[in-house]
Structure 1
Amino acid sequence: MAKRPERADALRNREAVLAAADALFATSSSPHSVSMDDIATAAGVGKGTLFRGFGDRAGLIGSVIASRLEPLHEAVREAQDAAGSSPEQRVLELLDASLRFKIENRNLMALAEDVGLSSPYQAEHYGWWHGTLRTELDQVPGVRDASFTAHALLAAIRADLVTHLIDDEKMTPDGLRSALASYIDKILGSGSGSASPGARKEE
């Protein structure tokens, strides 16, 4: 049986909850301290609405991340449609885009990993990045197992590692991006890091 579309009031509640949660997570120095009660109050809905709409805290966090990622996904799709770049360069650009998103949203991404979402590897956004990266790696000469290589490269930019490097080891965002470009160049052995995004000023 086909899934029935959401009622207009349910859709409005969902959008209000996502907007409230996004704002609270963005302005809190510790997203861990933002409770479901806080989000329900800010959205002007009952707490039960949150659980009916998102299942649990992990589901809500995953939805907030998905809403933040959608513009980035669209930009990536547009870039892939543009001609001219090599698959090696597209791999670098994909990973750099993901890294920049994690740097900017590292507290929320680390929170998502903490609450589990079953496993970071089960999260919808991880599946999208892995699949997109694997498709590009399939076109890179010398890459024998594109799926494993995609997993290994994404492991280098896990949110908890990014948070540790930026917040604990005081690595600069540009320095981290440059290090990632050099790492990709060594893995692919293709000169893909010759135009390191980390060497450019962040936009």
Structure 2
Amino acid sequence: MSEPRSLPLLGGPPPERSDAARNREALLRAATDLVDHCGVEAVTMDAVAAKAGVGKGTVYRRFESREGLMAALLNHSETAWQAAVLSGPPPLGPGAPPMERLLAFGHSRIETNLKHADLITAAGHSGARAYAAMSFAAMHVRYLLTRLGVRGDVPILATSLLAPLEIAILHQQTHIEQIPVDRIQRGWAELVRRVVAAEPSAVMAP
């Protein structure tokens, strides 16, 4: 099984003219600045328009709704994260042994989802985006499990490893049960090792 390639995030914009693409990037930068300095709740279509120096109608034409704008910001972040997985420095990126990469993947996904928890909520139930993001993550985990010599039902095992990384579960653990993030990461690493140890086969080289 070969290293997965980055997936286009479904629900994203169609190909644009260069000027339209630049305008879109300017709006996303304005929205990102607002998120970074004021929080997700401060990001309104009016605020983004004012920050970017355009009319509110321009923002609506690009993203249709605030939820659409939040989804675009989330997709932008997801694209950058996928790039780090595929071509960034090890151990998240290529070059490290598969077990190290798998553990780094889980830790990074936990941190990224918690960092963007408010943005994920504001983006709503975007099934298209969620499917694309999950498809990339699933392919990557399947690839690493295969490199580790796991021969069981790899797609199901990969889904079992990915489920604890989703924001609904992370929110329950961190906000309601008050479990520290480092404990969650250690628990996920233990789960990974148990799954891999259940397969008595040699670990393949990275």
TM-score bracket, shorter-length normalisation: 0.7 to 0.9
Q: Which residue of 2 aligns with 1:81?
A: 94
State which of 130, 133, 143 in structure 2 corresponds to 1:135: 143
2:25 alignment partner AA? E
Q: Which residue of 1 aligns with 2:173?
A: 165
Q: What CA deviation, in whole Å up to 9, does each residue of 1:15-40 have, x standing for no partner?
A: 121112222233445x3563323322
2:160 alignment partner AA? A
Distance 1:111 1:149 in 2: 30
Q: In structure 2, do the counterparts of structure 1 residues 71 and 92 end up closer, same or farther at CA, with 3 Å as the change threshold?
A: same
Q: What CA deviation, in whole Å up to 9, does each residue of 1:111-158 have, x standing for no partner?
A: 33xx11126642x33322222222222333334232222222221111
1:119-134 aligned within 5 A: 121-122=130-131, 124-134=132-142
Distance 2:159 2:129 in 1: 11
- Residue identity (%): 24
Task: Answer yes or no: is the 8 Å Cα contact 1:58–1:116 preserved in 2.
Answer: no
Q: Which residue of 2 aligns with 1:44?
A: 53
Secondary structure, in 3 states, of the residue corresponding to 1:138?
Answer: helix
Structure 2: give runs of 5+ residues left out of the alignment: 1-13, 200-206
Q: TM-score, normalised by structure 2?
A: 0.73
CA drift at 1:162: 1.6
The answer to whether the aligner puts 1:19 opposite 2:29 as a matched pair is: yes
The answer to whether the aligner puts 1:150 opposite 2:163 as a matched pair is: no
CA drift at 1:14: 0.9
Q: In structure 2, do the counterparts of structure 1 residues 173 and 59 end up closer, same or farther at CA, with 3 Å as the change threshold?
A: same
Secondary structure, in 3 states, of the residue corresponding to 2:147?
Answer: coil
CA drift at 1:160: 2.1
Task: Answer yes or no: is the 8 Å Cα contact 1:22–1:64 preserved in 2.
Answer: yes
CA drift at 1:190: 6.3
Structure 1: give runs of 5+ residues left out of the alignment: 192-203
The answer to whether the aligner puts 1:118 opposite 2:131 as a matched pair is: no
Task: Answer yes or no: is the 8 Å Cα contact 1:36–1:47 preserved in 2.
Answer: yes
Q: Which residue of 2 aligns with 1:53?
A: 62
Aligned-residue Cα RMSD (Å) equals 2.8
Distance 1:25 1:140 in 2: 39
Task: Answer yes or no: is the 8 Å Cα contact 1:17–1:50 preserved in 2.
Answer: yes
Secondary structure, in 3 states, of the residue corresponding to 1:156?
Answer: helix
Q: Which residue of 2 aligns with 1:194?
A: none
1:148 alignment partner AA? I
Q: TM-score, normalised by structure 1?
A: 0.74
Q: Which has the higher helix share?
A: 1
2:165 alignment partner AA? I
Aligned residues: 182
Q: In structure 2, do the counterparts of structure 1 residues 120 and 77 end up closer, same or farther at CA, with 3 Å as the change threshold?
A: closer
Greater length-normalized contact order (CA 8 Å, ≥ 6 residues apart) = 2
Task: Answer yes or no: is the 8 Å Cα contact 1:96–1:177 preserved in 2.
Answer: yes
